[in-house]
Structure 1
Amino acid sequence: MSWVLGVDSGGSGLRFALGSTASDGTSAVTTVATTVSTEPVRTGPSGIDAGQLLARLLPAVDTLLAEAGADPGGDRGGDPGAGGGRSTLSAVAIGAAGMATLGDGLRAELPSALERSLGVRRLALAADAVTAYAGALGQRPGVVVAAGTGMIALGTDLTGWQRADGWGHLLGDCGGGAWIGRAGLEAAMRAYDGRRGGSPALLSRMEAVFGPAPELPGLLYPRTDRPAVLASFAPEVARCAVGDPVAEGIVSTAARHIAEAAAAVCPPSSACEVALTGGLFGLGDPLLVPLRAELAGQLPHATTVSAAADPLGGALLIAGALATNALRLPYDARLLNVPTEQDG
């Protein structure tokens, strides 16, 4: 049995999936077992903490192999104290939020650490947008818009990556959950002040959720999780969009921003698949109806398709392709880094 591991690291913790590659030599992967660690990997001055990620990954591998019925005693021999007792993994793919900008420590430390502890020499370190892409479209050219608290669009023609937005709630993420929530709260405060552009409906919902309007700045500004707090108000904006013109305008503008990002990264071809993935699209028709209209206007040659799988599935797909020499997604120093390409 050839085992591969996919890892999805984000703000809500770590998810792991163990898969087995097809016996016919293709890159198809069957998910065998999954497990979760709910505490996120910390970040510091040097970026994502490689040591903490590894400390979570090693016991997760043992748990998954045991659940799959594999022999934790393995077949490599080696030093058990260094992980030599674990069954062989053919490849590991790790997708992490912040990998592009905060992943230098992972790229420097994980390849040798995983080879020592697990005997793994085939490793891919990917931005979470890349694993979202792989989960949604596999290894086909196209565009994936990943939107939750933030928003990023990623496109490829399989020769290189094009990225639009994903710059965080202060510099971008236009149309994402934090953007919608912040715009809705601003409209609520305008209504409280009696300024133009205010929404009494949003003011009512804001006070129901957060309390009296004058207290909101003191509740919001000290928070270290401000983007998530802002995004928590996005569903209220979407609900008010049915009947409230201010809220409807906010959601329609968000749809335009999302479509603009998709158009910016769409490969220049006669056809382009666009997949939407992430929790933001759970807002439903208030967002999806104007978004489909914007995509039709800005990308008339594109086809919107359903995402086939989530980012964890994308990480597992990348691991399976790497294990079978079938990875066609373009390598990139920050977005999809494959530090060891030789056979293990």
Structure 2
Amino acid sequence: MTGAGYLAVDSGGSGLRVVVGAPGRGPLARASSDVPVRTGERGLEPGHVMEQVVPMARALCAEAGLERLEVAAIGAAGMASLGDALRAELPDRLARDLGVRRAALAADAVTAYVGALGSRPGAVIAAGTGLIAIGTDLARWRRADGWGHLLGDCGGGAWIGRAGLEAALRAHDGRDGGSARLLAETEEMFGPVTGLPGQVYPRADRAAVLASFAPRVGACAAEGDPVAAG
């Protein structure tokens, strides 16, 4: 075993990624989960974060030969508007369960910005399951969108997937704006469209389910389907 290391976590709409590393050596081991962090009455649930991160972090430390973790940096989608419980509880829980002495918590857009540009002025677009644009002149921060899959994230994976599924349902109903090609893709992926609401609405990971259809929308667009291209 070789001393202390750091923990880095990226939590997004389709799951989370975990890395451990050591100063001067960089990332040493990584893992991922396709289970997004649950959102409850208090926002993002700290218990669900720890339920996923702790076993992965311990296994990665063993793989990397690290004795302990001293620092943790967590970037989470929704931190700005849904992160009160995370800010209140995660530092203590990281200390208790993993021995972390210092913890930095930020929105995933901020960690994306720092990863791309460091401490320079500029702007980034963080596009995945959701979508947000963020920029700073190092005196003020400005953001656009990042309001989640029900209220915004226009152009993100969930938004594209939902638009494709809507076009499929329009074709099924015989309404304008439908796409027979997207209807066929929907039924190939999810089965009969009459059962689609039951596969989407009860899910806690609805954004990830919607985003899972986005690659098919892209493929249909590339093959010339005008609705998918639109």
Q: Same fold (TM over 0.5)?
A: yes
Partner of residue 8 from structure 1, selected from 7, 10, 17: 10
| Shift in Å, 1:223 | 3.8
> What CA distance in whole angstroms lies between the structure 1 residues aligned with 2:128 and 2:5?
31
Q: What are structure 1's unaligned runs of at least 5 residues?
A: 23-28, 73-86, 250-344
Match of 2:23 in 1: 21
Report the residue type matching 2:30 in the other structure: T
Instruction: Rate the CA distance shift 1:218–1:100 in 2: closer, same or farther, 3 A.
Output: same
Identity %: 62
In the aligned structure 2, how far is the partner of 1:104 from the partner of 1:196? 43
- d(CA) in 1 for partners of 2:217, 2:33: 32
Following the alignment from structure 2 to structure 1, what is the Cα–Cα distance between the partners of residues 158 and 145? 14
Which of 133, 136, 143 is residue 113 of structure 2 equivalent to?
133
Give the whole-Å Cα distance in 2 for the aligned partners of 1:159 and 1:127.
18
| Cα separation, 1, equivalents of 2:208 and 2:52 | 24
| 2:13–2:129 Cα contact (<8 Å) kept | no
Q: What is the correspondence of 1:299-318 to structure 2 with a 5 Å cutoff?
A: none
Counterpart-to-counterpart distance in 1, 2:164 and 2:112: 28
Cα distance, 1:174 vs. partner? 0.9
Residue 33 in 1 paired to residue 13 in 2?
no
How large is the Cα RMSD of the aligned pairs? 3.0
Give the TM-score, by structure 1 length: 0.56
Which residue number corresponds to residue 189 of structure 1?
169
Following superposition, the deviation at residue 139 of structure 1 comes to 3.1
Which structure 2 residues correspond to residues 285-324 of structure 1 after superposition, within 5 A? Answer: none
2:45 to 41, 44, 49: 49
Residue pairs, 1:193-272, within 5 angstroms: 193-241=173-221, 242-249=223-230
- TM-superposed CA distance for 1:164, in Å, is 1.0
Q: 1:125 Cα shift? A: 0.4
- CA positional deviation for 1:4: 2.7
1:83-94 equivalence runs, <5 A: 87=68, 89=70, 91-94=71-74
Kindly indicate which of the two structures has a greater share of residues assigned to strand.
2
The question of 1:110 aligning with 2:90 is answered yes
Q: How does 1:143-158 map to 2 (within 5 A)?
A: 143-158=123-138
Inter-CA distance 11–216: structure 2 relative to 1 (3 Å threshold): closer
d(CA) in 2 for partners of 1:131 and 1:145?
12
Task: In structure 2, list runs of 5 or more residues that go unmatched.
Answer: none
Which structure has the higher relative contact order (CA within 8 Å, separation 6+)? 1
Q: CA deviation at 1:62?
A: 4.6
